Amino acid sequence: MSDTQSFVHRTVLLDEAVDALAIQPDGVYVDCTFGRGGHSRLILSKLGPNGRLISFDKDPYAIAEAATIADPRFTIVHEGFVTLADSLAKLGVTQIDGLLMDLGVSSPQLDDGSRGFSFRFDAPLDMRMDTTRGITAAEWLNSADEKEIAEVVKDYGEERFARQVAAAIVTRRAVEPFATTGELAAVVATAVRTREPGQDPATRTFQAVRIYVNRELEELSLTLPQALALLKQGGRLSVIAFHSLEDRIVKRFMQDKATGDRLPSRLPVMASEIAAAPLKIVSKPIRASEAEVKANPRARSAILRVAERTEGPL
């Protein structure tokens, strides 16, 4: 993509996710997924002259967009958020007042056919969020064994025809290696016998391969504990998920860290002797309004969860 502005990007739950941070003007905040900068720009608008925002992104196009922000309070880090603690330490940051995560793939990534995220375009089968490192989807599909492909498609795509999809992929690549999204979509269509109305047969397989290539769920699971350890007391964690797998990880993490010690019910311990949980959930899950979904159908599946750091030990 030659122009980072070529594709319209509507930031989902923009106000809700930033409001949930309860921003302090002099605070230090992290946007784990800069994207095209919607959340970051709004956070900056709420910070005072001594505030600070550090944003992360793997995508070189996101980094190019971030370079257009000439603000001394702003720092962009070309890394995935799994490097959160180490990257912040290099910047001299050991505590933060809030952290926002907007998970999954962005609209520009989907709408730019050359990135290989979408079956709607016939393009090189890449799917990497960071095109400067790591193996492409084509490289993995052309080398992984059938059992591994089936497990990925089943676990990350929740595809009930995962075994058939894997078998079809292995059969096809024996004749000719995969090179394009169109080739993969066509093969998957022969293996998926039925699909929900309005959903392309390749939807779940493409999701699964993208999640696997980018280690999305693994990195989310590794990053949430880092975020909790960095938050000051009263600091907020604001996370937007777009599908059940990532939302399940966020939900379980927040619930687990908001529960505290689990002691036998008849143990003679006073309440004051039980350590407080390190997190408290501050609101019910928040979804996009009808108006937002109408303007941006991709917001339909978004769910925002918010938690606050307490005085409880980790």
Per-residue pLDDT, 198: 75
Same-domain check for residues 203 and 85:
no
| pLDDT score, position 2 | 32
Q: Are residues 228 and 209 in the same domain?
A: no
Within a domain: residue 124?
A: no
Helix 146-157 × helix 203-213 angle, to 10°:
100
What range defines the domain where residue 305 resides? 14-107+216-309
Asked, for residue 3, whether it belongs to a domain, the answer is: no
Same domain, 103 and 220: yes
The answer to whether position 120 is within a domain reads: no
Per-run averaged pLDDT (10 residues), the chain, 314 residues? 44 96 98 95 98 96 96 97 98 98 73 63 89 94 98 97 98 98 95 84 94 96 98 98 96 94 57 78 96 92 97 94
Same domain, 26 and 172: no
Confirm or deny that 226 is annotated as ligand binding: no
178 labelled binding-site residue: no
Q: What CATH number is attached to the domain comprising 137?
A: 1.10.150.170
From 213, 232, 247, give the residue that closes a domain. Answer: 213
pLDDT of residue 109: 57
Residue 185 domain flag: yes
In a shared domain, residues 289 and 236 = yes
Domain boundary among 197, 213, 229: 213
Q: Is residue 169 part of a domain?
A: yes
Residue 102 marked ligand-binding:
yes
> Domain check: are 222 and 256 in the same one?
yes
Residue 15, annotated as binding a ligand: no
Whether residue 90 sits in one domain with residue 171: no
Does residue 81 have a known ligand-binding role? yes
Provide the token pair at 64: 């190019």
pTM flag (> 0.95):
no
Total number of domains in the chain: 2
| Whether residue 136 sits in one domain with residue 52 | no
Domain contains 125: no
Q: What is the pLDDT of residue 138?
A: 97
SS3 string, the chain, reads CCCCCCCCCCCCCHHHHHHCCCCCCCCEEEECCCCCCHHHHHHHHHCCCCCEEEEECCCHHHHHHHCCCCCCCEEEECCCHHHHHHHHHHCCCCCEEEEEEECCCCHHHHHCHHHCCCCCCCCECCCCCCCCCCCCHHHHHCCCCHHHHHHHHHHHHCCCCHHHHHHHHHHHHHHCCCCEHHHHHHHHHHHCCCCCCCCCCCHHHHHHHHHHHCCHHHHHHHHHHHHHHHEEEEEEEEEEECCHHHHHHHHHHHHHHCCCCCCCCCCCCCHHHCCCCCEEECCCCEECCHHHHHHCHHHHHCEEEEEEECCCCC
Q: What is the pLDDT of residue 14?
A: 96
255 is in an annotated binding site: no
57 among the known binding-site residues? yes
Question: 27 with 85, same domain?
Answer: yes
Residue 21 in any domain: the answer is: yes
Is 29 a domain residue? yes
**pLDDT of the residue at 104:** 76
Domain shared by 168 and 20, yes or no: no
| Residue ending a domain, choose from 175, 195, 213 | 213
Q: Are residues 100 and 174 in the same domain?
A: no
